[in-house]
């Protein structure tokens, strides 16, 4: 097995293998050529279809928002669902779960713009 010191290092190389994982350093992409930037963009971009699948299967837990990079609102959705489900026995939980359901319906229309915004952010790298 080769050690990391045996591998040739080039200034434009930003990906290094670590076992089965690939580690990408995107902190400084200024020295990368256009071909490598395009490859990095294609590797990091998100798909609208995947976001809709996540909405369908994990709508109450905010999986589609985690995928789109909207972590704060995804955590809020997750908390509303987790706290609202047991509170349905008291009555207030129905309001919390209802908010998540309406939020998910609104996200049906917002997903394309959320993914477009995420992809435009990574294209500026």
Over the stretch 31-75, which tens digit does the pLDDT of each residue have? 667 777 777 777 788 999 999 999 999 989 999 999 999 999 999
Residues 71 and 11 in one domain: no
57 and 76 share one domain? yes
Judge if 59 and 83 occupy the same domain: yes
| Confidence band for 98, pLDDT divided at 50, 70 and 90 | very high
Structure tokens at 119: 């992809």
> Using an 8 Å Cβ cutoff, are 8 and 16 in contact?
no
Task: Using pLDDT thresholds of 50, 70 and 90, give the confidence band for residue 77.
Answer: very high
* 83 and 28 assigned to the same domain: no
Whether 17 and 72 map to the same domain: the answer is: no
Q: Which domain holds residue 70?
A: 48-123
Q: Which of 44, 59, 74 is the last residue of a domain?
A: 44
Based on the domain organization, do 24 and 63 belong to the same domain?
A: no
Give yes or no: residues 37 and 66 share one domain: no
Is 63 in the same domain as 76?
yes
Is residue 34 domain-shared with residue 54, that is, in the same domain? Answer: no
| Count of other CB atoms within 10 angstroms of residue 59 | 20
Number of domains in the chain: 2
The pTM of this model reads 0.69
Indicate if 36 and 57 belong to the same structural domain.
Answer: no
The residues that bridge with 21 in the sheet, in sequence order, are: 18
């Amino acid at each position: 097995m080769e050690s990391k010191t045996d591998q040739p290092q080039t200034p434009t190389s930003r990906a290094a293998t670590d076992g089965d994982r690939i580690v990408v350093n995107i902190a400084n992409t200024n020295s990368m050529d256009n071909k490598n930037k395009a490859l990095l963009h294609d590797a990091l971009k998100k798909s609208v279809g995947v976001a809709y699948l996540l909405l369908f299967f994990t709508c109450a837990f905010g999986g589609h928002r985690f995928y789109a990079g909207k972590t704060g609102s995804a955590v809020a959705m997750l908390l509303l669902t987790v706290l609202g489900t047991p509170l349905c026995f008291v009555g207030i939980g129905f309001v919390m779960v209802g908010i998540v359901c309406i939020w998910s319906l609104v996200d049906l229309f917002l997903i394309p713009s959320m993914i477009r915004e995420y992809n435009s952010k990574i294209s500026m790298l």
